[in-house]
């Protein structure tokens, strides 16, 4: 796990899209990212809002995606991010076996997230 200053260095000045439908989790995540120097885009609780933010200029450097957004699966957004070569991580409580095959190899972190681990994955 990187030291706090390393995590800060990894995220400083980077625009991170946060897609999370749980308000408290989203706000906590946004505050943690901001404390590490990231510019938080969102958070947004649904695909429509996420696609709208993704279309804005400048695009995010990376994204953190909750897999299940109130019953709406995040995979269409993951596909778009992958097409645009924007790195992302999946945030979930789901076990690996519950994730569709094309997304199993994507970086996945169980909630509650360890922001330093997430920062390292987004920087790779």
Q: What is the 3-state secondary structure (H, E, C) of 81-112?
A: HHHCCCCEEEEECCCHHHCCHHHCCCCEEECC
User: Where along the chain do its domains lie?
Assistant: 4-123
14-72 tens-digit pLDDT? 999 999 999 999 999 999 999 999 999 999 999 999 999 999 999 999 999 999 999 99
Instruction: Return the CATH architecture of domain 4-123.
Output: 3-Layer(aba) Sandwich (3.40)
Residue 81: C-alpha distances to residues 23, 37, 44, 97, 114 (Å): 23, 22, 16, 22, 22
Q: What pLDDT is attached to residue 5?
A: 57
């Amino acid at each position: 796990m990187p030291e706090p200053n390393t995590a800060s260095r990894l995220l400083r000045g980077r625009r991170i899209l946060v897609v999370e439908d749980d308000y408290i989790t989203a706000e906590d995540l946004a505050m943690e990212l901001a404390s590490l120097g990231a510019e938080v885009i969102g958070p947004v609780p649904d695909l429509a809002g996420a696609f709208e933010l993704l279309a804005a200029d400048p695009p995010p450097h990376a994204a953190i995606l909750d897999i299940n957004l109130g019953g709406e699966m995040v995979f269409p957004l993951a596909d778009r991010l992958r097409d645009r070569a924007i790195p992302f991580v999946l945030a979930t409580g789901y076990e690996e076996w519950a994730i569709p095959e094309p997304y199993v190899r994507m970086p996945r972190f169980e909630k509650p997230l360890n922001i330093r681990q997430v920062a390292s994955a987004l920087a790779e």
